[in-house]
């Protein structure tokens, strides 16, 4: 039977596990403030790509690292098969033989809790509290010496996965717990599996052709009423730096027609941040490559790297003490039914066979207190840690 565009009903669990069983790359996502779960699978085995070109890309999902290296390249999962929450459809040009093989896997009961793990046994370096605090002290000294204005330092931690852990069940739990976040689960053969709930848009172009990016910085635990939020000078200055960075990118492109709203306090994953939104109506402003051009200028943003970018990046490479890999890179669907939406890969974890690696960072400025920055990373790691702590197994 020729499937082609014909739709068939399956569950997200069936779709994800068929991809794992067939050694296929799969991406699952839920856009903020929507109930719709989406996923795509690529049937071929070539995922590496160059600098993303949003306007000419086929429908698919980008998964890109903090820094492109031979070991961590930009990845693109082409949507040969698309799951809209209920039905699976195939792209019209997909070859029939691998398509039929995948539908056979969909019809075959699979192990419910499998996922792709890295091809090589990675040795993760973990930054101690003493090491992280020491790096923050050095960063403050470098900032006071005029070497840079801000640098974002991050670290990792490790948690044992709960018994019967299922990435799809954890993904569903994240969509319930973090309705305002971009929630994702990405699993690629030879690369591994990452999942997260990030609050930060990098570049977005919706169905109405509205371009959107944001300046997000400053962190403190959430209070019951955001109107009661009190921000220190350190967080206000940090957020203003990210705003100026976005505006400098617009200036480089000679873009003057945009709307700016903020800064305002928003809640994400039990934390509060300061956020300013920038939008451009591409139906009114003729700038057909704005998405790709801004992506190239923005990443890595000052919210995850620092200012100026070059000395901050060098400081990170010299003092952070581990490889960020795909943490603080970017990810998301492009040319999907809902448009193109790329997010910074924050509040995330990497799944190994029995452990999860958690990632978090904090912006360091002249007014930073090292111990407070350590506590901030602890708070940020709670977004994923709570998913593991509260995980409820799935009946097999």
Q: Which residue ranges form the domains of the chain, and what is each CATH number?
A: 129-173+200-390 (3.60.120.10)
Is the peptide bond preceding residue 29 cis, with omega within 30 degrees of 0?
A: no
The secondary structure element, H or E, covering residue 52 is none
Q: How far apart are CA 77 and CA 72, in angstroms?
A: 15
- In tens, the pLDDT along 103-129 reads 999 998 877 789 999 987 666 677 789
Among candidates 159, 166, 158, which has minimal Cα distance to 185? Answer: 166
The predicted-structure confidence for 75-100, as pLDDT tens digits, reads as follows 999 999 999 998 999 998 899 999 99
CA-CA-CA-CA torsion sign (106, 112, 117, 119): negative
C-alpha closest to that of 213 among 150, 302, 283? 302
Percentage of the chain lying above the pLDDT 90 cut:
85
**Distance of alpha carbon 179 from alpha carbon 41, whole angstroms:** 24
In the chain, how long is the greatest CA-to-CA distance?
70
Q: How many CB atoms lie within 10 A of CB 140?
A: 19
Q: What is the DSSP string of 182-200?
A: EEEEEEETBTEEEEEEE--
Which residues, at least 6 apart from 256, have a Cβ–Cβ distance to it below 8 Å?
250
What average pLDDT does the chain have? 93
Q: Is the dihedral of CA 115, 118, 122, 126 positive or negative?
A: negative
Residues facing residue 278 across a β-bridge: 213, 260
pLDDT band at 395 (very low <50, low <70, confident <90, very high): very low
d(CA 309, CA 299): 10
pLDDT tens digits, residue range 178-218?
999 999 999 999 999 999 999 999 999 999 999 999 999 98
Distance CA 133, CA 246 (A): 29
Q: Please check whether residue 102 is in contact with residue 43, taking contact to mean a CB–CB distance below 8 angstroms.
A: yes
Q: Residue 331 — φ and ψ, nearest 5°?
A: -155, 160
DSSP state of 339: B
Query: Does 172 have pLDDT greater than 80?
Result: yes
Mean pLDDT of the 233-246 span: 93
Residue 93 DSSP one-character state:
T
Rounded CA Rg of the chain: 21
The mean pLDDT value for 241-251 works out to 96
Question: Residue 240 in 3-state DSSP?
Answer: helix
**Residue, of 330 and 8, whose pLDDT is higher:** 330
Nearest CA among 78, 1, 2 for reference residue 46: 78
- H or E, element range at 331: strand 330-334
Q: Check if the beta carbon of residue 379 is closer than 8 Å to that of residue 267.
A: no
The answer to whether residues 122 and 357 touch, using CB atoms and an 8 Å cutoff, is no
Cα(392)–Cα(396) distance, integer angstroms: 12
Identify the three-state secondary structure at position 359: strand
- Buried b or exposed e, range 244-257, using 16+ CB within 10 angstroms: ebbbebbeeeebee
Beta bridge partners of 205: 211, 340
The whole-number pLDDT of residue 298 equals 97
Cα–Cα dist 92/288, whole Å: 26
What DSSP element (H or E) covers 255?
none
């Amino acid at each position: 039977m020729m499937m082609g565009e014909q739709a068939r009903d399956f569950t997200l669990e069936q779709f994800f596990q068929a991809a794992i069983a067939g050694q296929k790359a799969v991406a699952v996502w839920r856009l903020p403030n929507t109930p719709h779960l989406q996923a795509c699978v690529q049937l071929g085995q070539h995922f590496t790509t160059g600098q993303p070109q949003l306007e000419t890309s086929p429908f698919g999902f980008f998964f890109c690292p903090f820094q492109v290296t031979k070991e961590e390249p930009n990845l693109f999962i082409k949507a040969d098969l698309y799951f809209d929450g209920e039905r699976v459809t195939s792209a019209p040009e997909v070859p029939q033989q691998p398509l039929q093989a995948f539908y056979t896997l969909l019809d075959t009961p699979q192990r419910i809790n499998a996922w792709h793990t890295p091809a090589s046994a990675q040795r993760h370096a973990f930054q101690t509290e003493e090491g992280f605090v020491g790096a923050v002290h050095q960063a403050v000294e470098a900032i006071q010496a005029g070497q840079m204005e801000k640098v974002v330092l991050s670290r990792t931690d490790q948690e044992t996965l709960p018994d019967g852990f299922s990435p799809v069940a954890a993904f569903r739990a994240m969509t319930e717990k973090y309705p305002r976040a971009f929630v994702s689960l990405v699993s690629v053969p030879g690369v591994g599996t990452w999942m997260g709930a990030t609050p930060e848009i990098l570049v977005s172009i919706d169905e109405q052709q509205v371009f959107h990016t944001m300046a997000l910085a400053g962190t403190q635990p959430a209070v019951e009423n955001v109107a009661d939020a009190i921000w220190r000078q350190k967080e206000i200055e940090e957020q203003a730096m990210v705003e100026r960075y976005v505006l400098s990118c617009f200036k480089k492109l000679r873009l003057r027609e945009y709307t700016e709203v903020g800064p305002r306090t928003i809640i994400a994953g039990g934390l509060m941040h300061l956020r300013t939104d920038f939008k451009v109506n591409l139906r009114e402003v003729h700038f057909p490559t704005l998405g790709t051009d801004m992506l190239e200028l923005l990443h890595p943003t000052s919210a995850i790297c620092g200012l100026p970018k070059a000395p901050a990046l060098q400081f990170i490479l010299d003092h952070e003490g581990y490889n960020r890999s795909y943490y603080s890179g970017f990810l998301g669907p492009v040319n999907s039914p809902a448009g193109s939406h790329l997010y910074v890969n924050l509040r995330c974890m990497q799944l190994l066979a029995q452990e999860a690696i958690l990632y978090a960072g904090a912006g360091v400025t002249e007014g930073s207190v090292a111990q407070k920055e350590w506590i901030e990373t602890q708070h940020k790691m709670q977004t994923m840690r709570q998913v593991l702590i509260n995980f409820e197994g799935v009946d097999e």
